[in-house]
Amino acid sequence: MKRRIIEIDENKCNGCGACADACHEGAIAMVNGKAQLMRDDYCDGLGDCLPACPTGAITFVEREAAAYDEKAVMENKQRKMREQGMTLPCGCPGSHSRHILREEPPAAEAPSPAPASRLSQWPVQIKLVPVNAPYFDGARLLIAADCTAYAYAAFHERFIRGHITLVGCPKLDSIDYSEKLTAIIRENNIKSVTVVRMEVPCCGGLEAAAKTALRESGKFIPWQVVTVTVDGRLKED
């Protein structure tokens, strides 16, 4: 198949190894002092390695390549952990998809004094969530900046409740989420999209990625953007 994948210019590579450390999938390794793409099917094409390279030796290309194989990546991670004397039989918990079913208390019961979590799935990070997770079927999608849940006190009840939640920070992750979000919206039966961002400028990247994903998906889905102020209020437009 023809897809987007990284390409490493050996002449520009200074052998620092930063890209190999940044590649969560283990697709890059240092060979004879130079970075090298070891297997096409380990590269997810999201480019976490690009901003880590100080010399600009890594770029994206469109070429024939094996499809990204998440199962093979996980097996490789498990093998490396065993070689290092580490054991985690179930695999990395941050990468395993879970649907969390929560029961509503009977109406006659008094509400719990402690706020209840409304999170209905795991993982929540945009970078980690699988594109075709079953909980996306018929989902009301919440795309939220990391900081919003800390700034807005009623975040679980106001936003997470009844939604499938994806969080990220384009400034800290240094990636464009639009391709991943486009795939999620295009390949699943998403009912609506709510974007919750902070009022700070860097959150504009998250909003832009969501709007691009909605446009590129080719679907007409109800959507809205909600802005949270740094002092924890919902901004009125």
Instruction: Give me the tens of pLDDT residue by residue for the chain, a chain 237 residues long.
Output: 889 999 999 999 999 988 988 888 889 998 988 999 999 999 988 888 988 899 999 999 999 999 988 888 888 877 776 665 544 444 455 556 677 776 665 655 555 567 789 999 988 999 888 888 889 999 999 999 999 999 999 999 999 999 999 999 988 877 789 999 999 999 999 999 999 999 999 899 999 999 999 999 999 999 999 999 999 999 875
Q: What is the pTM (predicted TM-score) of this model? A: 0.60
Confidence (pLDDT) at 227: 96
Q: How far is 220 from 237, CA to CA, in rounded Å?
A: 23
CA angle, residues 201, 206, 208, in degrees to nearest 5: 90
Report whether 74 contacts 92 (CB < 8 A).
yes
Contact (Cβ atoms closer than 8 angstroms) between residue 141 and residue 133: no
Amino acid (one-letter) located at 59: T
Q: Are 77 and 101 in contact (CB under 8 A)?
A: no
Cα 7 to its chain centre, rounded Å, is 22
Nearest to 73, CA basis, from 36, 48, 97, 40: 40
The helix-helix angle for 204-217 and 178-187 (nearest 10°) equals: 40
Q: Which of 119, 118, 70, 120 is nearest to 95 (CA)?
A: 70
pLDDT at position 226 is 96
pLDDT value of residue 87: 47
Cβ–Cβ under 8 Å, residues 193 and 201: no
* Among the listed residues 198, 85, 219, the one whose alpha carbon sits nearest the alpha carbon of residue 145: 198
Q: How far apart are CA 36 and CA 109, in angstroms?
A: 60
Tokens of 178: 């639009």
